[in-house]
């Protein structure tokens, strides 16, 4: 996820026809963006660390496949 750049903020301000942003407003926008990126990074890290659910302890063999999906044609 990319951070907000000054160009994007300026384009957003012009699109909304807002006056020039004050320094504290820029600081607030950049702080919110940093928080957004840290929250998203935590979500990605949690998803990577979660163990995958085990579907079956038996490996899928050709015999097991045939037993599960028996052909109706004989």
Once rounded to an integer, what is the mean pLDDT over residues 35-43? 89
**Residue 43: which pLDDT band, with cuts at 50, 70 and 90?**
confident
Threshold 0.85, pTM exceeds: no
Once rounded to an integer, what is the mean pLDDT over residues 36-44? 87
The region of weakest confidence among 17-26, 41-50, 60-69 is 41-50
Read off φ and ψ for residue 33, nearest 5 degrees: -65, -40
pLDDT at 64: 83
* Sign of the C-alpha dihedral computed for residues 15, 16, 20 and 26 taken in this order: negative
Once rounded to an integer, what is the mean pLDDT over residues 5-30? 93
């Amino acid at each position: 996820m990319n951070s907000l750049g000054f160009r994007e903020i300026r384009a957003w301000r012009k699109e909304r026809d807002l006056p020039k942003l004050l320094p504290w407003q820029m600081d607030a926008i950049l702080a919110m963006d940093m928080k957004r990126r840290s929250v998203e990074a935590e979500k990605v890290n949690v998803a990577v660390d979660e163990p995958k659910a085990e579907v079956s302890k038996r490996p899928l063999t050709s015999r097991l496949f045939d037993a599960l999906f028996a052909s109706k044609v004989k």
